[in-house]
Amino acid sequence: MIDIEYLLKQPRSKINKIISQMTALFINENKASLFKNTDWFQTMNLQPDQYSKSFLELIDILSAKDCLDLSIIINLRMILGVWNNYTEDEFLNNLINKLNNKLSQTDTFTNLLNQGKYATNNIMADLLKLTALFQEDILNNYEKMELINDLMFKDKSITTLEFDLIDILMHILKISESDIGIIYLELQTLQDEFLCDMMLKTFEEYHLLSNSAKKRIDKRPFIKNIIIKNKWNTRSMFDIFSIYKNILDLKKENYDLLFYDNKEEELELPLNFLKPVDAKSQYDLAWKYIKGVDIKKDVEQGIKWLNLSAKNGYVYAQYHMALRYITGDAVEKDEHKAWTWLEKSALQGHAKSIYKLARIYTDGIIVEQDYEKAFQFYLMLANQNNKEAQYKVGIAYMYGKGVPKNDRLSFEWLMKAALRRHKESAHKISLAYFTGTGVEKNLLEAFKWSKLAAEQGYMFAQKNIAHAYQHGLGVSQNYEQAFFWYMKAAKQSNYEAQFNLALCYENAIGISTNYSKALEWYLKSAKGNFDLAQLKLGDLYFEGRLVSQNFVEAFKWFSKAAKQGNLSACHKLAICYENGYGVDINLNKALKLFEQSASQGHVESKYSLNFFYTTDQVISNNANPDTLISKNVKQSCTLS
C-alpha cells in the first residue's frame, strides 16, 4: 500500500512531481529503474503486483482532497481514459467519472486566459504549462481558441520564432522545480510527436538525477551527448507556433479517441458543416479531413478545402498551401506556386510568410536574388517587434545589403534585438562598442554585451570574453576566467578558442602546465583549419618541442597554413624548400615563397630574398637531380 500520509505532508509542487513520476511507472513498469533513487520510491512500500490499484486509489484520495493542480487532473483524465479503453476495471471507470465531474465544475477556459498572461525566459516551459490546460471542449470551440491564440501571441507565450534543437532541449533542462511535475506529465501525453519524444527523453535523462548530480553537469555538452546517442539532427529548426499547433492537434486526436464511441461509423454531419461558405470554416473543415477528426480522413478532400480557403483570402490557409507546394506534401511540388501563396499571406502581415519571403530573396531561390526586396520584408517584420528580423535589418545596414551602409542605424536595430536577448545581436553590439562602429567606443559596454551573449551559449562571444579577461579589456584581468571561457568556446569547436586554450595549457595561463593537453588542443584547432594552430604544430615538429622532431610533419603543417595565406608559414615553407627539411630541395619554389611573403611585408622573407639575390642561389629548372636530395634522406642514411 502506498504511504498516503507521506504524500499529504508534501508541498503541492512536490505532490505534482511525485504523481507525474508515479504515472510514468503506471504506464510503463519498466521505468522502475528511473525512480529507484527518488525519495518517494524508497519511502513507499511498493508492491509490483498491487501498484496499479494503489496508484488509482491514491489519485482518488488526492483529487478528493484538492491536492492536485488542474493541469495534472486534466492530463491524468486523458491518460487514465486511454488506459480504460484496454481494461474493464470498475474502480478505474468510477475514478474517471469523478475526474470528469471535477473538471466540469472548473472554469478551465478562464484558467487558460490567465495562464497566457505570463511569459518567462523559458519559452518551452511556458508552452508546455499552457498546453497542459487544454481540454476537449476548448480545443473544439473555434471562438474560444481564437481568443486564446490572440492572447498568446500578444503576450509572447507563443511566437513564430525558430529555435534549433539544442536551444529547445536547453529550455527543458532549465525547467524550474515547481513546474517539473506539470511538464513531465504533459510530455507523457504527447508521445508519438517526434519533438515531444525528444523532450521527454531529455527530461528523464536530466530531471530524474539528484540535485548534486545536476550541479556537476555542463548542460550544453550534456545535451549534445544525448543528441549524438539518439542520432538526432542538431541542425533541425523548430518554430514555437508550429510546436504549439502540433501539440494541440495531437491532443485533439487523443481526445477524439477517448470520446468518439462509434469509431466504425461515419458521423452524420449537418449540411452547413459540410459546405461552409466562409474561408475560416473552410480552413477548419480542411484540417478535419486531413487529420480525420469528426469525419473520415480524406487528405485529397482536405487539400481542396484548404486551397478554397486560401483563394478566399484566409492567411493561414495561404501559408499552409505554400508549405505544401515547397515540400510536395499531398500536392505536386511547385516552388513558384509556393512563392505566390507566401506573397499573398505576407501582404496580410503573416510573420512566418514575411520571413520566408525575405529568405527567398536573400538566397536567390525560386526567384532572382534581390537584397532590396529582402530588406523591405525584413523591415516590415522588424517593425512588428520580431527580433530575428531586427537582427537581419541591422546586418543589412552593417554590410550595405539592399540598403545603403549605415553603421548608426545598424547599431540601433541590433540593439532592439539585443535588448530582447537575441544572442547574435548582443555579440554584434559588443563588437560595435569594442571598435567604436556606429557608437562611441566603450570597452565596459563591449564586455557587458559580449558576456550576455556568452552566457546564452554563443561561442564567438565566449571566445571574446575569454580574450577580454586574459588582457583586461573592459574587465579586470583574470586568467582563470579566461581559461574557463576559452574552454566553453573550445568545446563548441571554436578553433581560435581551441588554439588559445592550448596556449593556456602550454604557458600555465589560468591552469597548471599540461603539455599533452596543449598538444591535444593544438591538433584539434589545426584540424579545424585554423592557420595559427597549423603554424604552431609546424614549429613544434620542426623544433622537436612537445613532440619528437619530424621535418616531414613540420612541412605538412607549414603547407596547410601557407595555403591559407599565413605569411610566417610561407616563409618557413620556403626555408624547408631551401634546405630540404621534410621535402626535396627546390630553390625555385623557395624563391617564389620568399617573394610572395616579402611582397606582403614579411620582414624575415625580405632578408631571405636579399640573400638569394646577393649570393646568386637561384637555380634553373634543369638542375641536376642528384643535387636535390632532402636533409631527411641524409639524416636517415647517416643513422642507419
What pLDDT is attached to residue 452? 92
The answer to whether the CB of 529 falls within 8 A of the CB of 495 is: yes
Report DSSP state, residue 162: E
Could you tell me which residues come within 8 angstroms of residue 208 by beta carbon, excluding any fewer than 6 positions away? 21, 34, 35, 38
Counted residue by residue, the chain has a size of 640
Name which of 359, 333, 410, 411 is nearest 239 in CA terms. 359
Cα gap 611→595, rounded to integer Å: 12
Cα gap 135→108, rounded to integer Å: 8
Three-state secondary-structure class, residue 164: strand
Could you tell me which residues come within 8 angstroms of residue 555 by beta carbon, excluding any fewer than 6 positions away? 538, 573, 576, 581, 582, 583
C-alpha distance from residue 289 to each of 8, 278, 282, 293, 428 (Å)? 47, 17, 11, 7, 47
pLDDT beyond 60 at 620: no
What pLDDT is attached to residue 143? 66
What sign results for the dihedral spanned by CA atoms 601, 606, 609, 610?
A: positive
pTM of the full structure: 0.55
Q: Hey, how many other C-beta atoms are within 10 angstroms of the C-beta on 176?
A: 11
Three-state secondary-structure class, residue 163: strand
End-to-end CA distance of the chain: 82
pLDDT beyond 90 at 94: no
| Cα-to-chain-centroid distance, residue 153 | 21
Name which of 93, 92, 17, 26 is nearest 55 in CA terms. 26
Most confident of the following: 9-13, 52-56, 420-424, 559-563: 559-563
Which of the four pLDDT bands, split at 50, 70 and 90, describes residue 619? very low
As a whole number, the mean pLDDT across the chain is 83
Per-residue burial over 501-538, b if 16 or more Cβ lie within 10 Å, else e, is bbbbbbeebbbeeeeebbbebbbbbbeeebbbbbbbbb
Q: What is the pLDDT of residues 101-144, one digit of tens each?
A: 888 878 887 877 776 555 567 888 888 988 888 887 788 776 67
Q: What is the mean pLDDT of residues 30-43?
A: 78
Q: Report the amino acid identity of residue 640.
A: S
Q: Report the amino acid identity of residue 331.
A: V
Cα gap 139→412, rounded to integer Å: 42
What pLDDT is attached to residue 279? 87
pLDDT beyond 60 at 617: no
Cell 521527454 belongs to: 200
pLDDT beyond 50 at 267: no
What pLDDT is attached to residue 310? 94
Could you tell me which residues come within 8 angstroms of residue 262 by beta carbon, excluding any fewer than 6 positions away? none
Report DSSP state, residue 494: -
